[in-house]
Every structure is written in structure tokens, then in C-alpha cells.
Amino acid sequence: MSRSYFHLHLVSDSTGETLINVGRAAAAQYEGVSAIEHVYPLVRSGPQLERVISEIEAAPGLVLYTLVGHDLVERLEAACRETGSPCLSVLQPVHALLQSYLGAQTTARPGAQHMLNAEYFKRIDAMNFTLAHDDGNLPDDLEEADVILVGVSRTSKTPTSIYLANRGLKTTNIPLVPAMPLPVALETVRRPLVVGLLASPERIVQIRQNRLLSLNADDSSLYVDRDAVADEVAASRRLCAKHRWPTIDVTRRSIEETAAAILDLYREHRLKFIAV
């Protein structure tokens, strides 16, 4: 099936992350159609908006926006009508619902969700911790973590850790390497949630081969031997079963999906920990 394309203009007075996520989630539901994204973050003045409008005029398409300034909204919508580009305020339906439910008016504050509050500094602290404890580093600090990820090489431990850190969780990851002992502290941790990341041997071999190819390294070692990798995965399963650590098969999961599953497990884990 041939693939068709359309221009998707994402106009935000903040970072644009909300629009990017909404736009991609919606566009992904249409097979054979791809969006050519034009992202315009931090649009907070008339001159900035005029530059955006000139690009919309050059490549008309669908326009999604999160602007709180009334004058900017009116100008953008007028320009969209002139170019025949359908436009939508992504947050307006949510604002209307909240206003109806709360009986309160909104306060126009561009980027209000990115204020330097306690939650922001919690994420920064989690990111610093996670980067310092990547790939088994500083194993004596495991009890200070919120989440510990264990798994064989190439099961997406590091990117998942960083994603969780951006959600405010101090995360460390420990590689399971044949013939290499685990940190002693891992056997006794109580506070952190320990999760095993698994994948099919075929998928791991494929990723490892690509990794070696990018490094121009020899691919004849046990590192990419299918039977050896299968043994690694089996040993990983046994280890998690022995300690009753929950496991997640990441073979066909994105980083975001894996992290979402871990966040669910973490919420349950914290409830049990608090109840003790």
C-alpha cells in the first residue's frame, strides 16, 4: 500500500511536548499515512507567531495548538481559515470540562506545567541518581533507589531507566552477565522495586549483532550465539523466579510501554510497603 503524507503544524507557547505526543498518538492510528511534523515551541509573541503563519501558508495542513494568549489564538485561527488549514486547540476541551466541573476560571500561564516546583527538582534528583547508577555502578547505594532493573545485555535497561527518571523515579540497572556475581546488596534490598527485563533470544541476538556491526567488532563470540543467549535468558528467568521479582517481556514493547508497566508495578509495590 502506498503511503500518503500530510503537513502537521504543532504550535505551542511551551515546549510542545503535549502536542507532539497527541499528534503522534492520533496519526499512528491511520495506516499508510504519515505526518510531516512542523514543531514551533515557545511561541509567545506576535512576531514569533507571524513566522509560524508564514510556514503554514507555505505548507498548508492540519494545525494543532496550545496557546493561552487570546490575541495569538485569534490571529492563528484567522490565518488558518485563510489558508484552508483546519486547526484545533488541543487543551480547550479539557479546560472547558475542568471549568465546568470546578466552577473556576483559568489563569493564562504559558508553560505552567514546567514550573520549577518540588516535582521538577525531584525529577532532576532522580535523573542525577539514575545516570550515576547506570550499568551496575555504585551497587552499595541500591537501597536508595526506587526501582532496580535487572536483565541481560540489550534488554533496554538504560533507556528505560532514563525514562523512569524523567518521571521522578530513582532507577538503577544491573546487567546479568554469565559468570559474574550479582551485587551482594541486591539480595537484601527491601525498599526498591526490582523488575526483571526479558526478551526473546532471537531479538537479543539481532540487537547485539547490530551493536557489534556499529562498532566494527567480531560477531563470532558467545555474545551473539543463539544457544548461549537462550541460556542467559533462561538463567535470568530463574533468578527472577527465585526472588519473586516481577518480569516484563520487552521483545515487542516500546520504552514507553515498558515504563508504563513498571510504573503500575511500582504503585502496587509502594502500597504494600506503606501498609507494612
Binding site for ADP, residues? 151-158
* 3-state secondary structure at position 117: coil
Grid cell of 141 as nine digits: 547505594
- Angle, helices 201-214 vs 226-243, to 10°: value is 120
- Best CA proximity match to 89, nearest among 106, 105, 107, 77: 77
- 171 secondary structure, DSSP code: E
- Best CA proximity match to 6, nearest among 28, 42, 37, 39: 37
In the block, cell 525529577 appears at 123
**Binding annotation:** 151-158
Which residues neighbour 153 within 8 Å (Cβ) at sequence distance 6 or greater? Answer: 175, 177, 204, 208, 223
In the block, cell 541518581 appears at 129
DSSP string, 8-47: EEEEESS-SHHHHHHHHHHHTTSTTEEEEEEEE----SHH
- 137 secondary structure, DSSP code: -
